[in-house]
Structure 1
Amino acid sequence: MAFDAEIRQALIEQVRRFVTEKCIPLENQVGETDEVPQEIVDEMKQLGLFGLAVPEEFGGLGLDMETECLVALELGRTSPAFRSVAGTNIGIGSQALVLFGTPAQKDKWLPGIAAGDLISSFALTEPGAGSDAGSLTTKAIRDGDHYVLNGTKRYITNANKADLFTVMARTAPDVKGPKGVSAFVVERNTPGVSVGQPEKKMGQQGAHVCDVIFEDARVPVENLIGKEGEGFKVAMSVLDKGRLHISAVATGMSERLIKEMVTYASERVQGGKPIIDHQLIQALLADSQAETYAARCMIMDAARRRDAGENVTILASSAKLFATEANGKVADRAVQVFGGAGYITDYGIERFYRDARIFRLYEGTSQIQQIIIARELKRAAQADQL
């Protein structure tokens, strides 16, 4: 649904208060304990954050893309671990069902996903297949009224908390590339499904990624999402939306870092005056602001176009590439503006610097976004010539 301005603003302000009053004070704690407190998770459920993109008929908020991005910008202003708690339910863990699920599948799982009672994860990446989804090797072989899944998925966000997995597996082993891939809903308690220990990571403590292993896991035929061979189409449709969401989260972090830089530079005195009065510091701030503003404009334009029904594959990849690369530069400049303090844990800037690095990797690396953009440009040129 499209939100009117008043309702949208009320939602944004509610999320902003939650981030400011509840999340930001706990950033250091989450970084040290590698866990988001349960009371925060419960409040996120009450705010409806798990069901942002789930239609209202299934208990979600049913936000349009523009409003979802505005909420993501707010959530980006704190440690990304908080958003990650609900992130897979909002995006890649639920949207395959929203976009391609049968009425029975939606009725069975979406209400729990929207309420946060079911945690859903997206199982695409493998030890030998990450950004190149077409080369995955996990197999799903039809056996009567079940598919038998075998394979390993890697770096799966929220896997240790997940009740459901959207799994991409190869149903046609002899068909190379994306055409042999299909999508399934796999319940965590399915015999033959196991989850590894959370990986130790560079950043984003409090958000967990694990291996998911399938060993002769029997999945009912009715858990197939869409048709056989449509898995790649499902994945790409989900990722278009997810890329805009992640772009907004990264840009929200950039906006938070700019605020921290300006505050610190206004108070830190060097050479007899606040360092914000030194031109080289001003340049770091100005470049950060300009790039962040550009990223925000790209995201909102692409979101509105998606809401209008346009194909936004090239726009989503462009926004994801630009916004996350800009975020990396802003995080680096923040450390520079803070100087030695930026390298010290107590100030929190080094944590954001580490947290920011993943944005250029997941939902498709920057290099994959470049390939997608070039591919879409080529297709558009060829279409014009026909």
Structure 2
Amino acid sequence: MNLSLTEEQMMIQDMAKKFAESELAPVAAKLDETGDQEIFKNNLAQLCELGFMGLNIKAEYGGVEAGVVAFSLAVTEIAKACASTAVTTSVTNMVAEVIQAVGNEQQKQTYLPRICSGEYLAGGFCLTESGAGSDPAAMKTTAVKDGDEYILNGSKIFITSGNFAGVFVVWAVTDPDAKKGRGISCFIVEANTPGINISKNEDKMGQKASPTNEVHFENCRVPASALMGTENKGFGVAVGELAGGRIGIGSLALGIGLAALDYAKEYTKERKQFDQPISNFQGLQWMLAERYTELEAARLLLMQAAHIKEQGGAFGTAASMAKLFAADKANKACYDALQMMGGAGYIKEYPLERMARDVRITSIYEGTSEIQKVIIARDLLS
């Protein structure tokens, strides 16, 4: 197996790294503290200009066709500097990929260029509900056919970029009499459609600059042409795209974990106790060695999942393994990095406190770690 990156993949990784270091890292602490949306949206607009919102989208629709491996590399580099920006990048790419995968030609020609160019700074992935999180097939949002329109009613929660997304991909029940999960359809809904109401931003533990909102649909009428794919066959689309999204979130977790370790490593070289740098102490050396080894293993799992997806193979289990492992080991890396810094790691003057908060959600969203284990075990035992 050739594990070397292509010239294009290395170029995209380098571009993401340079942008993250020059534009994102200097404002990450301010964004965490204030949630300044002007700065946040300006950074997203620049990422759009560089092509990072359509990394796996065909050039004919405004994307760069760089593939899934390049997408993973880019999200990791962005996350090293700002997890809030990384999650918005990941989810927007996922929304674009849904449209490319199941949208008709008119839908792709209409919406993908708007996402890739930055006309829409973000896309919203509207699946989760209060009673349908780990069990999305239990959703209650409905879409009732009325002539040449559908009427949407219901609420979605924890929607990334809900308050400024230009377009939503929305799942709703279209056949309430069908077996669970078999009467669900997928729609593309413009954010300015009458009947959509967006709640205030959630006050979160971490990733504070990325807005998370409830999206309410109240007698929201959309044309029948908003249906993506086949009616009542939308649940499989959601499951497939969530698997792809797990590569993005695993990559995000990896980036945060690496940034935390890199910072702590440099700190241990400068901090002195007992008349010597604490990096001389074997206990800290072993912590660094173990955590870096685990994150390297996470990187390889992510690259494998991304490669399988890029080649058109069945990647779902590989993505779950990668996301499960990367999220777990990144959380461990952040907390051990904070421990290496002692009391200083707990102070907001240093970035470890923020990273420890930002990384926590990676074992929850895009499918909890427990759900990843269910998916992996089901595949092993099938």
TM-score after normalising by structure 2:
0.95
- Pick the aligned partner of 1:80 from 63, 79, 83: 83
Partner of 2:98: 96
Q: Percent identity?
A: 36
Distance in 2 (CA, whole Å) between partners of 1:86 and 1:35 is 17
CA contact (8 A) 1:35 1:207 kept: no
Among residues 248, 251, 255, which one is paired with 2:254 in the alignment? 251
Residues 289-329 of structure 1, C-alpha deviations (whole Å, 9 max, x = no match): 11101000111112112222210111000101010011111
Equivalent-residue separation in structure 2 for 1:140 and 1:78 (angstroms): 40
2:119 to 101, 114, 117: 117
* Paired position in structure 2 for 1:30: 31
The answer as to whether partners of 2:250 and 2:302 remain within 8 angstroms in 1 is yes
Q: Is the CA contact 1:122–1:165 (under 8 Å) kept in the aligned structure 2?
A: yes
User: Could you tell me how far 1:46 is from its partner in structure 2?
Assistant: 1.9
- Determine the structure 1 residue equivalent to 2:231: 228
Letter in 2 for 1:10: M
Q: How far did 1:137 drift?
A: 0.6
Q: How many residues align?
A: 376
Aligned equivalent of 2:6: 5
Q: 3-state DSSP class of the match of 1:346? A: coil
Q: Which letter does structure 1 place at the counterpart of 2:33?
A: E
Task: Name the CA distance, whole Å, in 1 between partners of 2:76 and 2:29.
Answer: 21
Structure 2 portions without partners, runs of 5+: none
TM superposition shift of 1:45: 2.2
Of 202, 206, 214, which residue of structure 1 is paired with 2:209?
A: 206
Quote the offset at 1:147 in angstroms: 1.1
5+ residue gaps, structure 1, are 380-386
C-alpha deviation, 1:355, in angstroms:
0.3
Task: Report SS of the residue matched to 1:51.
Answer: coil
Q: Partner residue of 2:182? A: 179
Give the Å deviation of 1:40: 2.1
Corresponding residue of 1:294: 297
Instruction: Tell me if structure 1 keeps the 8 A contact 2:150–2:224.
Output: yes
Deviation (angstroms), 1:333: 0.5
Alignment partners' CA distance in 1, 2:68 and 2:55: 10
Q: Is the 8 A contact 1:126 1:154 kept in 2?
A: yes
* Secondary structure, aligned partner of 2:80: coil
Q: 1:143-292 counterparts in 2 under 5 A?
A: 143-292=146-295
Structure 1 residue 224 displacement after superposition = 0.8
SS of equivalent residue, structure 2 residue 129: coil
Matched-pair contact (CA < 8 Å) for 2:87–2:249:
no
CA distance in 1, matches of 2:247, 2:319: 6
One-letter code aligned to 1:289? Y
Q: Does the 8 Å contact 2:78/2:86 carry over to 1?
A: yes
1:6 to partner: Cα distance: 2.4
CA 1:45–1:234 in 2, change beyond 3 Å: closer, same or farther? same
Matches of 2:23 and 2:165, distance apart in 1 = 24
2:18 is matched with 17
Deviation per CA, 1:54-87: give whole Å up to 9, x if none. 2111111122111111112211211211223433
One-letter identity of the residue aligned with 2:214: D
SS at match of 2:187: strand
User: What is the CA–CA distance in structure 2 between the aligned matches of 1:69 and 1:40, rounded to whole Å?
Assistant: 19
Equivalent in the alignment of 2:133: 130
TM-score by length of 1: 0.94
Q: Is the 8 A contact 1:88 1:157 kept in 2?
A: yes
Q: Which moved more, 1:243-252 or 1:315-324?
A: 243-252
- CA distance in structure 1 between the aligned counterparts of 2:25 and 2:375, rounded to whole angstroms: 36
User: 2: CA distance between counterparts of 1:216 and 1:323?
Assistant: 41
Residue aligned with 1:54, SS: coil
For 1:30, give the aligned amino acid: L
Query: Distance in 1 between the 2:240 and 2:87 partners?
Result: 20
CA displacement at 1:4 relative to structure 2: 8.0
Q: Give the whole-Å Cα distance in 2 for the aligned partners of 1:361 and 1:283.
A: 28
